[in-house]
A and B are shown apart, each in its own frame.
Chain A
Amino acid sequence: MVVNSVHWFRKGLRLHDNPALQETLNGADTVRCVYILDPWFAGSANVGVNRWRFLLESLEDLDTSLRKLNSRLFVVRGQPTDVFPRLFKEWNVTRLTFEYDSEPYGKERDAAIIKMAQEYGVETMVRNTHTLYNPDRIIEMNNHSPPSHLQKISSHCESTRTSQETVANHYSRANGQISDNHDEHYGVPSLEELGFKTQGDSSHVWKGGETEALERLNKHLDRKAWVANFERPRITAQSLFASPTGLSPYLRFGCLSCRVFYYNLRDLYMKLRRRSSPPLSLFGQLLWREFFYTAATNNPNFDRMEGNPICVQIPWDHNPEALAKWAEGRTGFPWIDAIMTQLRQEGWIHHLARHAVACFLTRGDLWISWESGMKVFEELLLDADWSVNAGSWMWLSCSAFFQQFFHCYCPVGFGRRTDPSGDYIRRYIPKLKDYPNRYIYEPWNAPESVQKAANCIVGVDYPKPMINHAESSRLNIERMKQVYQQLSHYRGLSLLASVPTIQEEAEPPMSDDSQASSSTAGQPSSPTPSPHQPTPAPSTPPNSEPSTPNTSPSAAAPGAHAQRKRVRPSGLPSKQKSKVKHTNQAKGVEQKTDEKQ
């Protein structure tokens, strides 16, 4: 029987360590690699030009590598559900392979395609490689719930050792079904074709593609000194700038296999240190990624507050002007503005910088919903994985995963600790370059003469700070306390909330009615604090497990009806969505909401 294989690239834009691609080659008579992309969506999408550029470069790189193997990449225009039936017929496809996508959205899309393939008699093969572990396995081994803290995830399973083979060796069969007008039909589009204006800004920092990823990996591993005396790399001003060994965008798009990264790092460590097992912290970033992927895989509402069972309902303010100032780097806090400028220009910021701006937007200063911040990151951040992005935002805004909220990053002091001389700020906010170090993080405190000498008057050339940080952090700490005190599960977890108060005594002898007032749809169903259970005094013995007893504050959150607005284009690949199913569902929900109104 003739085997005509198609490998569908989404993430996993690489030839190395790509088991699904290997499956495609296995005994195949013809092999085609496709990427499906809807140019119409590109312009309208909530995905910034840097991310598109990175994607297109990665596709170019794939195409170049495939050419060397006498093949090509087929970039097919359209939506997967429309495209595949056509391809199945045209190419007489018998086998379809792709990398497993654990995200709820991707699972739904893939299920539709698998069903469709079945109808066409096409065999499908799916392999998990975007994460080290299969998220479903982790959940299974963790008593059927996602682990609630990081330490657990690593204890659960060892990832499958990968062969790390590239497909090149197997590719001999992939043969010449390339037509002369391939570029016309299936070439990688340009940014212009997708509707982006590119005014010769060729100076972008992150170049997409597998080739670049592997070069970076080598450089990364070359920093043996770092790995050898492994300590947490000390964060310096230099860390804030894009590094030529940075890998996160490559992991995001799958230009680099996370397993290859993991094993290379591990082997190197063991070679240099001769210790049986490397510390967890060596793989920090990789494990966090696993953690959030696992937390999100069965939670379609992971990227929103309403209807999200792990997310605490916080009465965030709705303030479009303030949000815009933050997103555009006009807060008047040079540290925040420099970070947001770097993010917009380059598509990457250091994780501490992410903490700083995320805290500032949410619980620290502006009290604006993490969902808004997440969307801005989704547009601008090259390495924004849907799960990791949403999860990190929930974490940093203290909306989930149980962490202390006492500590808010200071928009002045935090940056100064990292980069006392303010070089980072001078680079991204040139207007402030002549400010003395002393005032560069707080130019509004500089005497007028200093402002004049620096040719930058605060309030004229550079905005005044949009908020009084001392005042807002005082308010926000109180608000957080209000929120957390209502959730009885969190009792004792928070330092601040543990201060006893006589308030309970003054409250009524019957079950608290606060939830009564109609408005709390989607509120985690916290057993209401009963007056008979006084707040534990600070001296109460804590849980034997300090981190958290249980992550699901509201297993029963009845938010299933929550209005589902699919605003998310979860990064490029998922843009090409199988629309059909979703629209139906969305419609259904909307009908219901209409009735409600």
Chain B
Amino acid sequence: MCVFRMKRGQKRGDKVEEGGGSVSGPGPGAPEVCKRLRRGDSEEREQEDGAVDWGRLPEEILLQIFQYLPLLDRAFASQVCRGWNQAFHMPELWRCFEFELNQPASSYLKATHPDLIKQIIKRHSNHLQYVSFKVDSSTESAEAACDILSQLVNCSLKTLGLISTARPSFMELPKSHFISALTVVFVNSKSLSSLKIDDTPVDDPSLKVLVANNSDTLKLLKMSSCPHVSPAGILCVADQCHGLRELALNYHLLSDELLLALSSERHVHLEHLRIDVVSENPGQQFHSIKKSSWDAMVRHSPKFNLVMYFFLYEDEFGPFFRDEVPVTHLYFGRSVSKEVLGRVGLTCPRLVELVVCANGLRPLDEELIRIAERCKQLSAIGLGECEVSCSAFVEFVKMCGGRLSQLSIMEEVLVPDNKYGLDDIHWEVSKHLGRVWFPDMMPTW
């Protein structure tokens, strides 16, 4: 509230002097900064006869302070005096920026003000290094993001993230429009190290441009659900970008060749591979990956995380978990059969984290116990719509013991039996874990 009062007092209305652009609403901390500033004012007055002249703080100190302030607070501070206004524009403060592009009709959140965007493009685009775009579900917002991207001609980005906060809107843009904006960054930046472009219409030719310009620096590439990329397209990235350490993509892009390319001698150790296995229509057939390719991966990058998200119908699991697979984090987003979970126990020795959102009506007792037996690294588990008898669950926890750092079980999952009731189980499990534990609850309402 004091924000408004202050503005009124100063007759500046909405226009924050020069650099701040006008900022569309009071952000976090705005009232505090007012308070702080006012307190500053009065202190200054009190100490007029001597001590501190805030206007003459050395630039380095000012920079230090400004780095800890959110943009809005800096904008207000920039109105205090010329020195602070100059400090507001120091390049160091503009390395990192998150554009939030939301339309009032499709989002509850406010957007980065257009004037601020203009200011940034005009005065600070060459300072930008770490940029992300958060875009709501409207096509206009995605377009706006592309417009900004295509104006970033004199910048050299290190990281770029295109993030859809609701329905993915980049997919609704004409592909060519999106591609041309994205390639502006690829061509000009030359030193991109991190690129997050999940749910976008990026395609093979644009990845070629990426590789041609940024192959030495690229470390992270996230491109889950990019339907216009082919296995050959991603293979080209893996072949050329030897520094790639983290990669996220959909299963249909995963091939033996890709794994071999990532395990080639010239390639650094991979740290992270995330695979989404999504069924487009029921009964879809999935290819399989050779055990030898996974073995090559593990030999080359013994510590890498393999994170797999499954969103499949139960009858589509045929090709999976037949041979050993070095998966570390496993997430079953839809119902998965008892049989498949049984195979998981047999084929996933590196498993660290397991989430089962749903399973049929038969208890998962033997499956869990087998997993406890065979997956010696398992430290986190989550169970949703499943059933486990209380005894089997206690046994499972006992076998895993203290290494289970995350144990998230919906209360309904646990079926009381003659050994343990629901009230006993919290004590029993807490005992084996060595800490207080409760099942997850949903409100009964």
Contact = CB atoms under 8 A, between A and B. Distances in A.
Interface in B398-445: 403, 405-408, 410-412, 416, 421-423, 435-438, 440-445
A388 B445 contact: yes
A513 B279 contact: no
A406 B8 CA distance: 47
Contact of B333 (A474, A495, A514, A521): A474
A510 B92 contact: yes
A367 B166 contact: yes
B357 A407 contact: yes
Q: Which 3 A-B pairs have the closest CB atoms?
A: A516-B71, A407-B384, A317-B166
Interface in A506-543: 506-508, 510-523, 525, 538-542
Contacts of A313: 109
A470 B435 contact: no
Given A318-B108, A520-B28, A539 B405 contact: yes
B278 A151 contact: no
B198 A478 contact: yes
Interface residues of B, number: 115
A23 B82 CA distance: 68
Interface string A196-240: 000000000000000000000000000000000001100100000
Contact of A317 (B7, B106, B159): B106
Interface stretch (A113-121, A166-174, A496-504): A496-504
Contacts of A392: 443, 445
Nearest to B381: A495
A525 B136 contact: no
Interface of A: 149-151, 231-232, 235, 248, 279-281, 284-285, 288-289, 291-292, 305-306, 313, 315-319, 351, 354-355, 367, 369, 388, 391-392, 395-396, 403-404, 406-410, 413-414, 417, 445, 469-471, 473-475, 477-479, 482, 495-496, 498-503, 505-508, 510-523, 525, 538-542, 544-547, 556-558, 560-561, 592, 595-596
A502 B221 CA distance: 11
Which residue, B92, B312, B329, has most C-beta atoms of chain A within 10 A? B329
Contacts of A367: 166-167
Contacts of A315: 102, 107-109, 134, 136, 165-166
Interface string B96-136: 11111010011111111100100000000000011010101
Contact of A506 (B70, B92, B97, B193): B193
B282 interface: yes
B385 A306 contact: no
B117 to A, nearest CB: 10
B246 A502 contact: yes
Given A518-B71, A561-B1, 13 more contacts: A288-B445, A355-B442, A395-B442, A404-B408, A410-B385, A470-B278, A474-B309, A501-B272, A506-B158, A506-B220, A516-B97, A516-B98, A518-B112
A533 to B, nearest CB: 16
A280 B312 CA distance: 38
Nearest to B245: A502
Interface in B330-372: 331, 333-335, 352-353, 355, 357-358, 360-361
Given A150-B441, A501-B246, A544-B435, A558 B311 contact: no
Contacts of A406: 331, 355, 357, 382, 384, 408
B401 to A, nearest CB: 13
Nearest to A528: B70
Q: Most chain-B Cβ atoms within 10 A of its Cβ — which of A410, A473, A516?
A: A516
Given A510-B67, A510-B96, A516-B70, A319 B137 contact: yes
A355 B444 CA distance: 9
A358 B70 CA distance: 35
Given A410-B334, A515-B28, A521-B26, A506 B353 contact: no
A348 B158 CA distance: 54
Nearest to B30: A558
A549 B26 CA distance: 29
Interface string B20-33: 00011111111110
Of B25, B30, B31, B246, chain A has the most CB atoms within 10 Å of the CB of B25
B4 interface: yes
Given A317-B106, A495-B406, A473 B311 contact: yes
Nearest to B441: A150
A364 to B, nearest CB: 10
A471 B278 CA distance: 7
Nearest to B136: A315
25 contacts: A231-B416, A289-B445, A315-B107, A317-B136, A318-B107, A318-B108, A354-B445, A388-B443, A403-B442, A406-B355, A414-B358, A470-B311, A502-B272, A506-B159, A507-B130, A513-B70, A513-B97, A516-B72, A516-B96, A517-B100, A518-B24, A518-B112, A538-B406, A541-B405, A546-B437
B239 interface: no
B272 A407 contact: no
Interface string B48-75: 0000000000000000000110111010
A545 B433 CA distance: 12
A507 B27 CA distance: 23
Nearest to A471: B278
B353 to A, nearest CB: 5
Contacts of B440: 403-404
Contacts of A471: 278, 311
B422 A281 contact: yes
B435 A542 contact: yes
Given A281-B423, A495-B355, A558 B437 contact: no
B242 interface: no
B163 interface: yes
Contacts of B335: 410, 413
B27 A518 contact: yes
Given A284-B444, A475-B199, A596 B26 contact: yes
A151 B274 CA distance: 37
B108 A477 contact: no
A551 B334 CA distance: 30
B310 to A, nearest CB: 10
A545 B405 contact: no
Contacts of A519: 24-25, 27, 100, 102, 109-112
B247 to A, nearest CB: 11
B95 interface: yes
B422 A231 contact: yes
B26 A561 contact: yes
Nearest to B99: A517
Contacts of B274: 499
B72 A518 contact: yes
B380 interface: yes
A499 B357 contact: no
Contact of A445 (B165, B282, B358): B282
B168 interface: yes
A419 to B, nearest CB: 12
B393 to A, nearest CB: 15
Contacts of B28: 515, 520-523, 525, 556-558
B334 A351 contact: no
A195 to B, nearest CB: 30
A438 to B, nearest CB: 13
Kindly name the residue among B97, B98, B422 whose own CB sees the greatest number of chain A CB atoms within 10 A: B98
B419 to A, nearest CB: 14
B385 A407 contact: yes
A513 B96 CA distance: 6
A520 B358 contact: no
A369 B407 CA distance: 28
Contacts of A495: 353, 355, 380, 382, 406, 408
Nearest to B25: A521
A521 B110 contact: yes
A226 to B, nearest CB: 14
A513 B74 CA distance: 11
A319 B166 CA distance: 11
Contact of B276 (A469, A474, A498, A517): A474
